[in-house]
Amino acid sequence: MSRLSRQNHYVPKWYQKGFILGSRGTLYRLDLDASSRQLPNGRKVVGRDVQLRSPKTCFVQKDLYTTRIGRLINDEVERYLFGPIDATGALAVRAFADNN
């Protein structure tokens, strides 16, 4: 049995990589909900709102395209619909970019 693809990107990794400059391989990600906490002295400490992240961890959500019927988990929407769309889209964008 094949492994389920449960980490689904709503912005494909190939597209994200088009925004990477240089050889670092990471993107700057702005966290609009950066965690914060109150210290005992009353001071508020806010977590880092800008982070360096790889495309693997950006624009991804667990089970975004997963369907469930009872205990049965199905990822066919990702494998048979969005997977081929992403693959074809990547080829089309590369072909267009190479010709311009």
Residue boundaries of the structural domains of the chain: 7-98
Mean pLDDT score, 5-15? 91
Residue 4 pLDDT: 77
Residue 2 pLDDT: 64
Residue 26 pLDDT: 95
Instruction: Report the predicted TM-score, pTM, of the whole model to 2 decimal places.
Output: 0.72
Residue 27 pLDDT: 94
Output the DSSP codes for 33-95: T--EEE-TTS-EEE--SEEEE-GGGSSEEETTT-EEETTEEE-HIIIIIIHHHHHHHHHHHHH
In the predicted structure, residue 1 carries a pLDDT above the cut 80: no
pLDDT tens, position by position, 25-40: 999 998 888 788 888 9
